[in-house]
Amino acid sequence: MVSKITHKGKTYHVDLSKPIDISIPLRAGNENVNAWYSDPVSIEPVRMGDWVGDVKQGGSVNFRNIKFNPHGNGTHTECVGHISKEDYSINQTLKKFFFIAELITVLPDETSDGDKVITKQHVLNCLGDKRPEAIVIRTLDNHISKINKHYSNTNPPYLEYEAAALIDELGIDHLLIDLPSVDKEVDGGKLQAHHAFWQYPQNTKLNRTITEMIYVPNTIFDGTYLLNLQIASFENDASPSKPILYQLNTVL
């Protein structure tokens, strides 16, 4: 199904029958991606006396309890409620779900103390004069192991404060990244990139979201896409999410 959309004076064709899923599935057990020392995802059939919610075990239906942490167990989208004293939920703050997005690929710089960082210059070089509604950051090397990597105590790459501040200045409302956080794993609770992007608490941007632990295959080229940002209706600061990209073709 091909549709036509217009954004900032440009008209595009988009084939909605060809989605590009950049989420990581939630799977039970240790093979699931994991961060922040979270317990593995648990998906277990309900048991009540002799009855079990598993058809393979003789139950009439599959009826399972699922236990997970949205921040630690997979692709998730969060709102400013992640860092605020006030209670904000992703279900109440994310009200639009389609955005023009720019996919960029970055090789983080290594600092003198061994950190790997995404800099302001990386973002400037990749975006040029483009001003999308969302930015999708893929980091190198982009190995398939990202879909089941255990990040705890590995000091993954992160976004420099200045880079997050630039993304704010450019008016980009949705930030997606293939890392467990936009901030350094251990930073004394500063979360500088989160604060810079949301401008909390001085000038809070309630409509903005950060999506972490995505995976963009190497077969997907950098460029402009239509993003469909799907969440579950959790009244919580974050929800498991399913970001979908669609290729855009400019109409001449």
**Residue environment code for 10-28, b if the CB has 16+ CB neighbours within 10 A, otherwise e:** eebebeeeeebbbbbebbe
Both structure tokens of 194: 């989160």
**Residue environment code for 211-229, b if the CB has 16+ CB neighbours within 10 A, otherwise e:** bbbbbbeeebeeebbbbbb
**What angle separates helix 120-127 from helix 161-169, to the nearest 10 degrees?**
40
| Structure confidence at residue 120 (pLDDT) | 98
| Structure confidence at residue 252 (pLDDT) | 65
Q: Enter the DSSP assignment of 110.
A: E
**DSSP string of 134-160, one letter each residue:** EEEEEESS--GGGGS-B-TTS---EE-
| pLDDT values of the chain reduced to their tens digit, one per residue, 252 residues | 788 888 888 899 999 999 999 999 999 999 999 999 999 999 999 999 999 999 999 999 999 999 999 999 999 999 999 999 999 999 999 999 999 999 999 999 999 999 999 999 999 999 999 999 999 999 999 999 999 999 999 999 999 999 999 999 999 999 999 999 999 999 999 999 999 999 999 999 999 999 999 999 999 999 999 999 999 999 999 999 999 999 998 886
- φ, ψ at 50 (rounded to 5°): -85, -5
For residues 178 and 174, give the distance between their C-alpha atoms in angstroms, rounded to a whole number: 14
Q: Cis omega (within 30 of 0) on the bond before 141? A: yes
Q: How far is CA 223 from CA 8, 137, 249, in A?
A: 16, 11, 11
Helices (H), 188-229: 192-198
- φ, ψ at 109 (rounded to 5°): -80, 145
DSSP3 helix / strand / coil % (the chain, rounded to 5): 15, 35, 50
Domain 2-27+74-250 belongs in CATH node 3.50.30.50: yes
pTM above 0.85, yes or no: yes
Residue 80: CA atoms inside 13 Å, Cβ hemisphere, count? 21
| Structure confidence at residue 250 (pLDDT) | 85
